[in-house]
Amino acid sequence: MSRPHLAPLEIMPLGGLGEIGMNLMVYGYENKLLIVDCGLTFPGPDTPGVDFIIPDVRFLEENRERVAGIVLTHGHEDHIGAMPYIWPLLQTPIYGTAMTLGLLEGKFREHGLLGQAEMIEVKHRQAIQIGPFNITFIHVTHSIVDSSALAIRTPLGTVVHTGDFKIDHTPVNERPTDLYSFAQLGEKGVLALLSDSTNINRPGATVSEQSVSDVFAKLFPRVKGLLIVATFASNIQRIQQAMHAAVAVNRKVVLNGRSMIANVNVARALGFIDIPPDTLIDIRKLDHYPRDQIMVLSTGSQGEPNSSLVRIASGEHQEITIHPGDSVVLSSRFIPGNERTIWSLINLLFKSGADVIHERILPEVHVSGHAPREDLKLMIALTRPKFFIPIHGERRHLHNHRDLAVSLGIAPQNALVLENGERAVLTRDAVQRDGTIPSGRVFVDGKGVGDVGDIVLRDRLHLSEDGMAVVMLVVSKATGEILQRPELLTRGVVYEDDHQNLLEEAKDAVEAALALGSKGMDFADDEVVGASEIAQRALRRFFKKRLGRRPAVFPLVMEM
């Protein structure tokens, strides 16, 4: 008998492939769409002034009636951070575990959305039906509690979407990764595996979180002054470890940073963190205790501008100061792209007299939340997929992960590297690319969402690199005659008080150009130009010739 014809499964990434962050995957089956995660990413040097970046979801807006739901694997910003901006465009039910939804509720509260969305809490190993998709949440260890992989079942077959994961056999206050469920899926048959690629280039297996506890237990008793431990506010296990180590050496704990306080409160309410009685003290009572009896748990380990730890290091924090002999532990990784800001933070801390411990001098002070190479091999071996698509990583990560899968027996034609906006189609027999869908990045700047585009960013980069000059002209409304000498205002070009002679020469150049007219500035004979265009071109030429700089020049004409 021939096999029944089944609809193909579509896989459409809108973020998270070819980059770190902004994860958003779309699955399509029988005219319904399932969204997995909805994250943001943070700006780089090429996006000055932007607060963060979210996926372009025009495709989802245009197909809003097809969206069956949004499933969240865990509560990190790169997986849920875009939800307050994208959910209002779709207004579909949201599914996640308790901690994930607890963190999301805080975001929705800030944006005035709390109570508007249908949030459905799901337990691990619980199967739920979302349109044609039958989904089981599978517990995985990661650097945030209550994380999940997904088994997505359709009549065509089962897809395993790992989310962010590692295989830690002895996590802190949490169950290990549910290898049994992955093995069961492998026994029954997995059509496709979509697996986290972030740490593909790290050899070996996961180092247990317990190793960090051992480091804290050895390190904390040696600290004589104030102890500050900086980590990600979402890393509840690490916060728990630091608290237990602090209590063991009779230190009280102060939470510093809005997100640190909010996340600990959510975790405490849900039972994901155990805080011994009388451990926490209010930051305003810091001076009531000797410095060597306090540990501060702080955000800002990446050296983000205006973060709590940066303000402490620069002496701008209202309650917390650094004294010689204090110690700061950065219990987090140096995220690629943040190295410069982290080293600047470390230098500031040393300048204040603190001893600074970080992963570059003591690697065991941090353990990654992502699976290294041997863990990734085990995931492939357990699930035994027919098709393989690497996710969550830059292009080099995705290609290296594909090569690993092929080396483990996946047929080369069955292992596919996708980019954001590419559509892949799975049947029982093949996986292949099938065109593209609209995709891209949307910039969030203050209250504006999407109003900053490439042209605005180009202008910002121009201004940041070369500065600006404004030339002001007073012109007769009747005759067009220049009535007085041009005035100049510059910012980021030269310091005006020290370069008055140069600015006077610039004014001379503008006056001379205005006297010569358009032909003197090489405008075309048939081009109609006014005084503002002539002054602008003259000033650009002057700064290029004298300074080798190209500031943005803005003419301002006042008619009288």
Same domain, 197 and 214: no
User: For residues 298 and 282, what is the distance between their CA atoms, to the nearest angstrom?
Assistant: 13
Does pLDDT of 393 surpass 90? Answer: yes
User: What CATH number has the domain bearing residue 287?
Assistant: 3.40.50.10710
Same domain, 313 and 383: no
Least confident span in 45-49, 244-248, 383-387:
45-49
Taking the model in full, what pTM does it have? 0.84
Does pLDDT of 374 surpass 60? Answer: yes
The arithmetic mean of pLDDT across residues 212-239, rounded, is: 94
The string of pLDDT tens digits covering residues 169-191 is 988 878 999 999 999 999 999 99
User: For residues 445 and 361, what is the distance between their CA atoms, to the nearest angstrom?
Assistant: 36
User: For residues 271 and 103, what is the distance between their CA atoms, to the nearest angstrom?
Assistant: 14
Q: Is 163 left (phi over 0), alpha (psi -120 to 50) or beta?
A: left
Q: Between the CA of residue 175 and those of 140, 142, 426, 483, 530, what are the distances in Å?
A: 8, 11, 33, 80, 74
The string of pLDDT tens digits covering residues 327-350 is 999 999 887 667 888 999 999 999
User: For residues 209 and 219, what is the distance between their CA atoms, to the nearest angstrom?
Assistant: 16
The string of pLDDT tens digits covering residues 120-150 is 999 999 999 999 999 999 999 999 999 999 9
The arithmetic mean of pLDDT across residues 289-315, rounded, is: 91
Residue that wins the pLDDT comparison between 292 and 519: 292
How many Cα atoms within 13 Å fall on the side-chain side of residue 164?
29
Same domain, 96 and 60: yes
Burial class (CB in 10 A: 0-12, 13-18, 19+), 324: exposed
Which residues contact residue 491 at a Cβ distance below 8 angstroms, ignoring those fewer than 6 apart?
Answer: 467, 468, 469
User: For residues 367 and 216, what is the distance between their CA atoms, to the nearest angstrom?
Assistant: 13
The neighbour count for residue 318, using CB atoms within 10 Å, is: 8
Confidence of residue 237 (pLDDT cuts 50, 70, 90): very high
Does pLDDT of 432 surpass 90? Answer: yes
Examine residue 278 and state whether it is found in any structural domain, yes or no. Answer: yes
Specify the pLDDT at position 453.
Answer: 62
> Is 35 in contact with 12 (CB distance < 8 Å)?
no
Examine residue 458 and state whether it is found in any structural domain, yes or no. Answer: no
Q: Between the CA of residue 182 and those of 3, 9, 79, 134, 224, what are the distances in Å?
A: 27, 21, 22, 16, 47
Buried-exposed string 61-74: b where 16+ CB fall within 10 A, e elsewhere: eebeeebbbbbbbb
The arithmetic mean of pLDDT across residues 320-330, rounded, is: 94
Q: Is 306 left (phi over 0), alpha (psi -120 to 50) or beta?
A: left
Confidence of residue 554 (pLDDT cuts 50, 70, 90): confident
Does pLDDT of 239 surpass 80? Answer: yes
Which of the listed residues 308, 332, 365 is the one where a domain comes to its end?
365
The neighbour count for residue 278, using CB atoms within 10 Å, is: 8
What percent of the chain has a predicted confidence (pLDDT) above 70? 92
Examine residue 460 and state whether it is found in any structural domain, yes or no. Answer: no
DSSP-H helix ranges across 408-480? 454-466
Q: What residues are paired with 475 via a beta bridge?
A: 482, 559
Same domain, 303 and 405: no
Examine residue 50 and state whether it is found in any structural domain, yes or no. Answer: yes
DSSP-H helix ranges across 198-324? 210-219, 236-248, 258-270, 308-313
Same domain, 268 and 321: yes
Going by C-alpha positions, the residue among 184, 133, 142, 134 that lies closest to residue 162 is 142
> Is 307 in contact with 279 (CB distance < 8 Å)?
no
What percent of the chain has a predicted confidence (pLDDT) above 90? 66
Phi and psi dihedrals of 52, rounded to 5? -165, 175
Counted domains in the chain = 3
Same domain, 357 and 412: no
The string of pLDDT tens digits covering residues 40-83 is 988 766 666 677 889 999 999 999 999 999 999 999 999 999 99
Examine residue 46 and state whether it is found in any structural domain, yes or no. Answer: yes
The DSSP string of 205-236 is -PPPTHHHHHHHHHHGGG--S-EEEE--TT-H
User: What CATH number has the domain bearing residue 108?
Assistant: 3.60.15.10
Specify the pLDDT at position 447.
Answer: 65
Examine residue 457 and state whether it is found in any structural domain, yes or no. Answer: no
> Is 12 in contact with 59 (CB distance < 8 Å)?
yes
Which of the listed residues 365, 395, 420 is the one where a domain comes to its end?
365
Q: What is the residue range of 184's domain?
A: 9-204+368-449
User: For residues 301 and 330, what is the distance between their CA atoms, to the nearest angstrom?
Assistant: 6
Identity of the highest mean pLDDT range in 3-12, 95-104, 200-209, 526-535: 95-104
User: For residues 381 and 290, what is the distance between their CA atoms, to the nearest angstrom?
Assistant: 54
Examine residue 455 and state whether it is found in any structural domain, yes or no. Answer: no
Same domain, 278 and 263: yes
Q: Which two tokens stand for residue 259?
A: 């997100």
The arithmetic mean of pLDDT across residues 82-89, rounded, is: 95
- At 312, is the secondary structure helix, strand, or coil? helix
User: What CATH number has the domain bearing residue 481?
Assistant: 3.10.20.580
Secondary-structure percent of the chain, ordered helix, strand, coil, rounded to 5: 35, 25, 40
User: For residues 164 and 392, what is the distance between their CA atoms, to the nearest angstrom?
Assistant: 8
Supply the mean pLDDT for the chain: 90
Bridge pairing between strands 468-475 and 552-559: parallel
> Is 254 in contact with 295 (CB distance < 8 Å)?
yes
**E-assigned strand segments in 303-354:** 327-330
Specify the pLDDT at position 1.
Answer: 46
> Is 507 in contact with 485 (CB distance < 8 Å)?
yes
User: For residues 307 and 230, what is the distance between their CA atoms, to the nearest angstrom?
Assistant: 11
Does pLDDT of 526 surpass 60? Answer: no
Confidence of residue 529 (pLDDT cuts 50, 70, 90): low
Specify the pLDDT at position 3.
Answer: 62
Which of the listed residues 396, 421, 449 is the one where a domain comes to its end?
449
User: For residues 176 and 179, what is the distance between their CA atoms, to the nearest angstrom?
Assistant: 8
Confidence of residue 12 (pLDDT cuts 50, 70, 90): very high
- At 547, is the secondary structure helix, strand, or coil? helix
Same domain, 63 and 183: yes
Residue that wins the pLDDT comparison between 230 and 558: 230
The DSSP symbol for 124 reads T
Same domain, 410 and 354: no
Same domain, 166 and 124: yes
Element holding 508 (H helix, E strand): helix 500-516
Same domain, 175 and 287: no
Specify the pLDDT at position 510.
Answer: 82
Same domain, 305 and 348: yes
Examine residue 407 and state whether it is found in any structural domain, yes or no. Answer: yes
Q: Which two tokens stand for residue 130?
A: 């979302």
Specify the pLDDT at position 455.
Answer: 67
User: For residues 348 and 352, what is the distance between their CA atoms, to the nearest angstrom?
Assistant: 6
Q: Which two tokens stand for residue 515?
A: 């006297």
Confidence of residue 452 (pLDDT cuts 50, 70, 90): low
Burial class (CB in 10 A: 0-12, 13-18, 19+), 33: buried
Specify the pLDDT at position 459.
Answer: 66
How many Cα atoms within 13 Å fall on the side-chain side of residue 400?
18
